[in-house]
Structures are given as structure tokens and as C-alpha cells.
Structure 1
Amino acid sequence: MSLMEKMKRAIALYDEILKQPHRTELARELRDEEDLFMLLCFSEMLGLPNPAFYYTLELYPMIIERFHEWHLRMGMEKSPLDGIRCC
């Protein structure tokens, strides 16, 4: 193994050691960001004005699969939207 490969492995190990304590925090932040994004996408159906409706309309087919997990995480047992039957 060359010196350059050893240095790359040492840097990768150092990076993993630094990231380890923050993994749950990063996962929570990503989940919160996704929750906000889902709320923005479906706010029009919930009766809230959505200024970005035109831009989020084409994303619905991709995020409809994750909608069920989202509304359960938000504390809603059934889908709050009449047009989406996921439960």
C-alpha cells in the first residue's frame, strides 16, 4: 500500500470518527426538513395557500409513496386529504 492510499484511509477514518456522534442529529434534521417539504407540497390540499404550487405539482407522483409515513409521523391516523387514500 502506497503512502497516498494510507493517507486517504486515515482521512476517511478521521472523517467517520468526527461524524459518528452527530449521525442521529443529522438524521433528525433531514427528517424535519422532509416534513416541512411534504407540508409545503400538500398544503394546498389542506386549505393553506401554497405560493410554490406550480413548482411542486410535478413532484407529487414521486412523493405520494412517502405520504403515508409522513402523516403518521405528524400524528394523523388517517390521511387528511380526500384525494389521497393511503390507509
Structure 2
Amino acid sequence: MVGTPSVLASLSAGLREFYEAPYRRTMARARRDEDDLFTLVVLAEALGVPDPASYYTVEMLPLVADRVHEWHTRMGLDRSPLEHVSCC
């Protein structure tokens, strides 16, 4: 029967996949770029860049510390630019 909930749910899931699939990679790249910018802003003071918001971003360092290795390899750096964080 065409009006059953399982058929409609299946059709809805198929249409959602059809429309979202071409944009999934673009959205993942945009999310990764946004995360990289966030990491740079949080680590700016440790990198030697004067940051007027360092008072607020220092609270976020523990959230970013475990992702430093992924970030610096994506940025093309062989080693971590932070002397107190040695991940490699």
C-alpha cells in the first residue's frame, strides 16, 4: 500500500539522500576549514600572534589540544609549532 508509514519513510530517506549526497563532501570540507580557523584562533597566543580575545580562548585550549596533530599536518607543518605540545 502506498500510504503506509514505512513506504513513506523509505521514500523520504531516499529523497533526502538524493538531494544531500552531492553536497556532503563540500559541507565536510567547510566544517573542517571552520575547525581549522577555530584552532588557529585558540592557538594564536601560543603561536606568538597577539590576540585580544586570549582571555576567552584560553578556556578552550583543552578542547583543541587533542586535535593539534591533525591540524598541523593539514596546515603542511611537519612538526607542531608549539614547543610545549609535542605530538610527533
TM (normalized to structure 1)?
A: 0.86
Q: Give the structure 1 partner of residue 71 of structure 2.
A: 70
Which residue number in structure 2 is paired with residue 55 of structure 1? 56
Structure 1 equivalent of residue 9 of structure 2: 8
Name the TM-score, length of structure 2 as normaliser.
Answer: 0.85
Paired with 2:45 and 2:81, the residues of 1 have a C-alpha distance of 12
In structure 2, runs of 5+ residues without a counterpart are none
Distance in 2, Cα, partners of 1:26 & 1:43: 25
> Any runs of at least 4 consecutive aligned residues in structure 1 with deviations exceeding 3 A, and if so which?
none
Q: Structure 1: how far apart are the matches of 2:71 and 2:58?
A: 18
Structure 1 segments unaligned to the other structure (5+ residues): none
CA distance in structure 2 between the partners assigned to 1:29 and 1:76 by the alignment: 21
RMSD: 1.7
Secondary structure of residue in 2 paired with 1:76: coil
Count of residues in correspondence between the two structures? 87
Q: What is the rounded CA distance, in whole Å, between the counterparts of 1:36 and 1:4 in structure 2?
A: 43
Residue identity in the other structure for 1:26: M
Q: Could you say which residue in structure 1 is the equivalent of 2:33?
A: 32
Q: Using the TM superposition, give the Cα deviation of residue 30 of structure 1 relative to its aligned residue in structure 2, in angstroms.
A: 0.9
Instruction: Among all aligned residue pairs of Structure 1 and Structure 2, give the percentage whose two residues are the same amino acid.
Output: 44
2:25 is aligned with 1:21: no
1-structure distance, mates of 2:36, 2:57: 14
Rounded to whole Å, the distance in 2 between the matches of 1:55 and 1:5 is 49
